[in-house]
Chain A
Amino acid sequence: MKQYLKAKGNSVEHVDALHRNSDGRKWTFMEKLLLGLTPKEYLQQALKNPFNWILAVIFAIGIPIMIGRFIFGLSWVTHSSCDYPWGLFLGFGLFAMVPLSSSGFQLGTACEVFGRHDLEPIERLALLNGLLGYFFAVMFLLFDLGQPWRLPYPMIVAFGPAAVLFLVAWHVATYLSVQIAEVSQGFFEWMGWPAGKKAVRKITLGLTVSGIILSTLHQGALGALFTYAPGKVHPLWYSASFQWLHFFVSSIPGGLCMVIVVSTIAAKTMSWRFDDRFKTNLDKLTISLAKGATMGLATYLTIKLIGVAHDNKWEYIATGWGAWYVAEIMFGVIAPLAIFTYSIKNGKVGLIRFGAWLTVLGVVLNRLNTAMITFNWRLPEREIPHWREAIIAITLYSVYIVTYRFILYRLPIFYKFKTVEVPVEATAGVRETVSLIEENDLPDAACAKESISLSGRRLSGIETAN
């Protein structure tokens, strides 16, 4: 899309209101879906994007294997190991994606509960990031479960309330609904259903508070899952008293930095979708998020060390596993912590973004270490996932990226949806006027006034907040 727009100049009108700027006609649903382009144009821009070709290759290989998993069973795509029952699907898909999705509850809390309205421009991105992360974590789970069609069983058929996984199941399910409700505001705006938005708006505080509860509990619960396997998780990654805290606290910088990472990628690839409010605030928002992440990282580092000290596990640091542990902490926690501290002070947003990448990778590495790499550390051999398992994981992650991009292109995440009533003048013969748009070059002028007044208000709002 970016390259297509570059080629076309500013001749394409973006869907950013219910009505077209050029002629005031309501956008049809189809037009909204196609980003205001004709099907032919849409296809053109899609084919022009080299990333789509990479995706096409991934899907061509991956989707048949995905289907095969459900026809031939798990033994076809995994090593069917009894010692390593959880492979990439859970080790990466569930345990790494969920902490990176904690952004939703954090910014929800900051904006809705603590009244930090200066963070609002990025709140929607954070909520969406949360929703998609959770949703795809559940998708990964469906690939991993032996009998995925029984996923609702813990809700309706049989209850194991003592199990941590029971909490996780209930909390993820309820939290997913909460997040759908939170994100649905943007969807209602986009669809032009103000009543729906109003209804959700009314329960926002309730949704947000329940979001905090559910997040605290199940981020922690994912950690607590490993307290069932005290002898299998390496002592350096295990702590009976602190495991849930480690997982919960590391999810805080994880989620915040994931938002920075996504916004960084978006700034590179879809800045056409940003409105001025987002564009002008992005650097400042990035710094705010990094501040939060720094606090999170510092806390995490502290309790990680307390965890080691509490059970007196220092002797393990001197082993090979210990070196790996130190590497994880150095690159995933201490390095970003130092980078953030320096760059926040000096306003180096580029460095912050680099630090955010490190943090995200650090959290992923921590989860992979706990669930897979150091799991069964006392067994003689380590298990390398089957190649089909890896391909399914890559494919599913690509589906996640595509879905993410699809929504960011359309719903008002990076921009505000203008609900101002434009008088409807021409309804007939609209098709013929389409060609006129290009000549008129209207959108910029029409938007300008609003944007200016808006960003002015925004700025003053920030000042008062500070």
Chain B
Amino acid sequence: MKRRDFLKGCLMCSAAAAVGTGSKAQAAGSFEGYPDAMGVLVDLTRCVGCRSCEAACNKEQRLPEPDVPFDDTSVFEEKRRPTERAYTVVNKYETGQGEPVYRKIQCNHCNEPACLTSCFVNAYTKTKEGAVIYNPKICVGCRNCMIACPFNVPGYSYSSAFNPVVKKCIFCHDTRLKNGRPPACVEACPQEVLTFGKRADLIKLGHERIRETPTRYYDKIYGEKEVGGTGWLYLSSVPFDKVGFDTTLQNEPIISNVKDFLGMVPMVLAIWPALFTGVHLLSTKNKDGHDDHDDSHNGTGGH
């Protein structure tokens, strides 16, 4: 009786898990973002490396004091990445053709974020406004999102012993985006490197800029297709791999890599119990019953 109950329980669990994972596996890859999701078009040809965006972000998000003032250009000596102390950083690239190119890095707010799909407590949310936000109250701190992010964006407040959390750009969702306002960096940028708008419109706008002044731009919008599309899009005067972008990224969302495995899960859950119980019955049929080894295990036959 007990065994049957157990097996039944097993099967029910498997069925539930199969439904859960199956539906998600199907959904993966087909999501192209909310229709009214906002984005930002970053035109690197305009950036002069003034770091106003970094300063504005620091104040808006109440981040810790920086190591050096925001008008200090010595930071360009190394290539930085976003951390728990700076949600956005600007790097400088000498391309060998005239002026250096500056590149602003922050969360790209993917249509189908790898951080979100890798999180086992669903701490991330892609809002209908287009931001990828994070709930620090349920984060366990496994840092799988940092492994998964193809842009190396999330930082972690390791130094906090009792409440370390993931720290990353949230598109100023709580303070601005939600109310229809652009993020602080966009507002602070003197050169209007950053154009705020609906992602769908920005893609048109980007292509229009390339068409109007083809000599100014490399013919591609980075983020239009990468890993399923990102909310933040880039235009550049030089090929993107020259300014630190990963140009080997796939066009499918990251979750599509995991689909092979997720698709296998319901199969295992459904087939294994039947298969192995069957094999057991077959391989022990000719003996004196299912528990033929029981007495041998009990030493000298205590019962």
Chain B residues with CB below 8 A from A120, complex form: 293, 296-297
Interface residue B284 (Cβ < 8 Å from any Cβ of A): yes
- Cβ A114 vs Cβ B279 within 8 A: yes
Task: Give the distance in Å from the alpha carbon of A269 to the alpha carbon of B88 in the complex.
Answer: 57
Contact of B283 among A113, A220, A241 (CB under 8 A): A113
- Cβ A75 vs Cβ B159 within 8 A: yes
Interface residue A70 (Cβ < 8 Å from any Cβ of B): yes
Taking the nearest CB of chain B, how far is it from the CB of A364, in angstroms? 20
- Cβ A146 vs Cβ B273 within 8 A: no
A73-B20 contact in complex given A151-B140, A153-B138, A154-B121, C-beta closer than 8 Å: no
Interface size class of chain B, counting residues whose CB lies under 8 Å from the partner chain: 35 or more
Interface residue B30 (Cβ < 8 Å from any Cβ of A): no
Binds A, one of B126-134, B150-158, B217-225: B150-158
Taking the nearest CB of chain B, how far is it from the CB of A173, in angstroms? 12
- Cβ B120 vs Cβ A228 within 8 A: no
Contact of B123 among A78, A158, A201, A225 (CB under 8 A): A158
Taking the nearest CB of chain A, how far is it from the CB of B122, in angstroms? 4
- Cβ A164 vs Cβ B261 within 8 A: yes
Contact of B160 among A73, A207, A416 (CB under 8 A): A73
Most buried by B among A185, A205, A244, A420: A205
The main secondary structure of chain A at its interface with chain B is helix
Interface readout for B1-38 with A: 1 if CB under 8 Å, 0 if not? 01100110010001001001100100010000000000
A206-248 contacts to B, CB under 8 A, are: 206-210, 212-213, 216-217, 220-221, 223-225, 227-232, 240-241, 243-244
Contact of B144 among A151, A228, A230 (CB under 8 A): A228
Contact of B163 among A71, A147, A207, A417 (CB under 8 A): A147
- Cβ B122 vs Cβ A160 within 8 A: yes
Interface size class of chain A, counting residues whose CB lies under 8 Å from the partner chain: 35 or more
Interface residue B110 (Cβ < 8 Å from any Cβ of A): no
Interface readout for A136-168 with B: 1 if CB under 8 Å, 0 if not? 000000001111101101100111111111111
Task: Give the distance in Å from the alpha carbon of A158 to the alpha carbon of B136 in the complex.
Answer: 12
- Cβ B164 vs Cβ A230 within 8 A: no
A162-B276 contact in complex given A82-B156, A151-B140, C-beta closer than 8 Å: no
Contact of B119 among A80, A115, A117, A163 (CB under 8 A): A163
- Cβ B147 vs Cβ A85 within 8 A: yes
Taking the nearest CB of chain A, how far is it from the CB of B180, in angstroms? 29
CB pairs A–B below 8 angstroms (9 shown):
A146-B156, A146-B165, A151-B140, A162-B255, A199-B2, A240-B257, A450-B299, A457-B296, A461-B296
